[in-house]
Amino acid sequence: MKILLTIVITTVIILFAMQNFGHVPINFFGGTPLYIRLFFVIIFSGVIGWLIRFITGMQREEELKRRYRVLLGEYKKLKMQIQHDDEG
């Protein structure tokens, strides 16, 4: 099943690349235009978009872990306080 899925995805990517293989001018900060194939511009944009989402997702995950550790510490303190009050 994985081989069939790989073949289908590869075929779709090849057909997409063949349809978008023309050169497009890219201007970096108003300089002379650099002519790059459209397919590479699309792939590069997709990779950059994925990297941005990946990095922001990792930052969010680290923030949630930090919050969890803080809340767990507070929970343990309260639990110890309750146990101490019950004993005394």
Q: Which domain holds residue 74?
A: 2-87
Q: How many domains does the chain have?
A: 1
Helix, strand, coil percent values for the chain (each to nearest 5): 75, 10, 15
| pTM metric for this prediction | 0.61
Let me know the angle formed at the C-alpha of 9 by 6 and 14, rounded to the nearest 5 degrees.
Answer: 120
Let me know the angle formed at the C-alpha of 41 by 55 and 24, rounded to the nearest 5 degrees.
Answer: 155
14 versus 70: the higher-pLDDT residue is 70
88, pLDDT greater than 80: no
Structure confidence by residue, pLDDT tens digits, 32-84: 998 999 888 888 998 999 999 999 999 999 999 999 999 999 999 999 998 88
Q: CA 23, CA 39: separation in Å to the nearest integer?
A: 9
